[in-house]
Amino acid sequence: KNQVEQSPQSLIILEGKNCTLQCNYTVSPFSNLRWYKQDTGRGPVSLTIMTFSENTKSNGRYTATLDADTKQSSLHITASQLSDSASYICVVSEGSNDYKLSFGAGTTVTVRA
Amino acid sequence: EAQVTQNPRYLITVTGKKLTVTCSQNMNHEYMSWYRQDPGLGLRQIYYSMNVEVTDKGDVPEGYKVSRKEKRNFPLILESPSPNQTSLYFCASSLRISSYNEQFFGPGTRLTVL
């Protein structure tokens, strides 16, 4: 059973609008949570990395939040651009084994002009 | 340029014909890993390596082999490929796996087994 669930599966937004992606996980103990952006046909690229003690981290127009108590994270995209069209993947690592990663299935974002 | 390279990028083969997908990184990273990505399933780890001569199974190791004879290379070997191994494969590396070590992914290898 996948321990990282992402929602929605896909979404379409207009250029310039904001959107929020959700990630719920059951991985325990928890070490860190990462968000990746994956353009079609390319490898994922890291956006943010947060440990259990951090509850927000930004990378330009991307802001990730983490609530380790409820085991939820979100990725907020501000003022979307056409180049934001991609799949966004939530990845959680176990507390005892940092190299044990659990990947979400991703949320596909399409930004339209 | 710091990067992870994979070869080939695309491969079509037939059942049972042994193949190797190469992965190389030029960042002196200790940790390397192989993943497969299938629609709706997300990335799943096949094998990983903490350092030279140290490898271990991930979540879906059946039908695959790896080796780590030198730090920069981590080839993925399919001794007898089957159609259910048709997938998009990614190699990744990081300095070490810890909370703040970013993982760098290669461009992917799209494999089709007929």
Residues of chain B with Cβ-Cβ distance to A68 below 8 Å are: none
Q: Which residues of A touch B105 (CB under 8 A)?
A: 43-45
pLDDT digits 0-9 by tens, A28-78: 888 889 999 999 889 999 999 998 889 999 999 999 999 989 999 999 999
CB of B23 closer than 8 Å to CB of B41 = no
Task: Using DSSP, state whether B83 is helix, strand or coil.
Answer: helix
pLDDT digits over B79-94, tens only?
999 999 999 999 999 9
Q: Which residues of A touch B (CB under 8 A)?
A: 2, 4, 31-32, 34, 41-46, 49, 51, 89, 91, 93, 98-99, 101, 103-106
pLDDT tens per residue across span B36-79: 999 888 899 999 999 999 999 988 999 999 999 999 999 999 99
Indicate yes or no: CB of B106 within 8 angstroms of CB of A101.
no
Q: How far is A50 from chain B (nearest CA, A)?
A: 8
Measured at the CA of A8, the angle between CA A4 and CA A13, to 5 degrees, comes to 140
The token pair at B114 is 């007929």
| Residues 6 or more apart whose Cβ sits within 8 Å of residue A1 | none
Of B42, B97, B99, the CB nearest to A103: B42
Nearest 5°: the CA angle B36, B109, B83 is 60
Specify whether the CB–CB gap between B105 and A43 falls below 8 A: yes
Q: Cβ contacts (< 8 Å) between A51 and chain B: which residues?
A: 99-100
Question: Which residues make beta-bridge pairs with B7?
Answer: B22
The residue in chain B having the minimum alpha-carbon distance to the alpha carbon of residue A49 is: B100
| Spatial CB neighbours of A17, under 8 Å, sequence gap ≥ 6 | A79, A80
Report the pLDDT value the prediction gives residue A30, as an integer from 0 to 100.
80
Per-residue pLDDT at A71: 93
**A104 → closest Cβ in B35, B42, B92:** B42
